[in-house]
Structure 1
């Protein structure tokens, strides 16, 4: 079993908690309060900009051409996600300018950027992979039941193209990562931060 597959399997407990989260379930069946989803979209856009910066830091620290180009491809993938958020903002009148990040958002972005700036590239991949793999998993698991105003969100992450990007990052993790307590801790920390991010989205932002 590859390192990325081991890490995903070992964090199945947090994946189950995310899938049971009321926010995630509400997206799947369309019952989620629209205002809560709008707040989530704004927070997620803030997060994704930091995610892109983390990719850029990793790209700059790449030591071979293949790794550099792979990070460039992954960075381009963030543009697609931000496009989805921009379309929601335009359609629903969500103010994306001057978003005040929630505590859970800041905790996640600060962790990613600090890791990307100072950690080994394998650890950086371990910190970033959970977001991609978890969203691809949620997209597939919610796809059959997706209904209402959030079906487009579900389809985005259920799309085979998103799965390909998640798998690309996992291959990079397998290439660059050496199994270590630090790498495993980074992966699990990111998984917990994902859960906290969804939980925080259940509380309206002031």
Structure 2
């Protein structure tokens, strides 16, 4: 499924091979879809994902400083706003229903899988360039878009309706389309029309694939909370 997330993403996704399937069809994801995921696993994941999104927002803020064009800066700044002021609210609302405050979420201890993933993304930005950072950020953005579109929309009485319908919804799907446009434009600006023939392409594939592998580990972590 490529949907309409641009042309760079599907090429990187295809280069990642079976690890992309491992990520987007993970047992955690399938449990979300059919409603059988233990609530304990979901809440444990949400707490860690709240912490993850804090670092993810920082990485997108870093992208503002790495950008070479004003439109890139605007797109990255808009993503920071969406993460901090909108997506985090889903986690806060769901966890509040389970008796966890936002302060509890913000001060939660990071799981090693979370540390590994978030610090990898931030290091990609600090040690690399704008494209390195986008390649490390994209699996999360587009993967959740593909997962949401495949699983949803679902009826309101589905146990994970809020989560699924958020990522299946028009607003998040537009985020994916906008991210695809940003990535395509950034690649064209820096690598030209023959991006896949440049030495940088292999590094971008490696960044993308590594981040996808870390997404798999993140789902593994989520399942462990329900054991």
Q: Which residue of 2 aligns with 1:4?
A: 9
The alpha-carbon distance between structure 1 residues 12 and 153, as it changes in their structure 2 partners (threshold 3 A), is: farther
1:202 is paired with a residue whose SS is: helix
Q: Which residue of 1 aligns with 2:96?
A: 90
Say yes or no: does 1:171 pair with 2:181: yes
Deviation at 1:181, TM superposition (A): 1.6
Q: Which residue of 1 aligns with 2:109?
A: 100
Mapped to 2, the partners of 1:151 and 1:159 lie a distance apart of 11
Unaligned runs of 5+ in 1: none
Contact 1:112 1:128 in 2 (8 A): yes
Mapped to 1, the partners of 2:202 and 2:20 lie a distance apart of 20
Q: Which residue of 1 aligns with 2:119?
A: 110
Say yes or no: does 1:65 pair with 2:64: no
Unaligned runs of 5+ in 2: 1-5, 196-200
Counterpart of 2:206 (choices 179, 182, 185) is: 185
**Cα deviation digits, residues 6-55 of structure 1 (max 9, x gap):** 11233352232234422111111111111111100000000000000001
Mapped to 2, the partners of 1:58 and 1:52 lie a distance apart of 10
Contact 2:145 2:172 in 1 (8 A): yes
Say yes or no: does 1:124 pair with 2:133: yes
The alpha-carbon distance between structure 1 residues 61 and 10, as it changes in their structure 2 partners (threshold 3 A), is: closer
Contact 1:43 1:101 in 2 (8 A): yes
Return the TM-score normalized by structure 2.
0.84
Say yes or no: does 1:198 pair with 2:204: no
1:148 is paired with a residue whose SS is: coil
Mapped to 1, the partners of 2:135 and 2:24 lie a distance apart of 21
Return the TM-score normalized by structure 1.
0.92
**Cα deviation digits, residues 86-124 of structure 1 (max 9, x gap):** 111211223314211111111000001111222110111
1:31 is paired with a residue whose SS is: coil
Mapped to 1, the partners of 2:153 and 2:79 lie a distance apart of 27
Contact 1:28 1:151 in 2 (8 A): no
Mapped to 1, the partners of 2:152 and 2:134 lie a distance apart of 27
> What's the C-alpha RMSD, in Å, of the aligned pairs?
2.0
Contact 2:12 2:208 in 1 (8 A): yes
Q: Which residue of 2 aligns with 1:48?
A: 53
The alpha-carbon distance between structure 1 residues 31 and 53, as it changes in their structure 2 partners (threshold 3 A), is: same
Mapped to 1, the partners of 2:111 and 2:220 lie a distance apart of 11
Contact 2:7 2:184 in 1 (8 A): yes
1:96 is paired with a residue whose SS is: helix
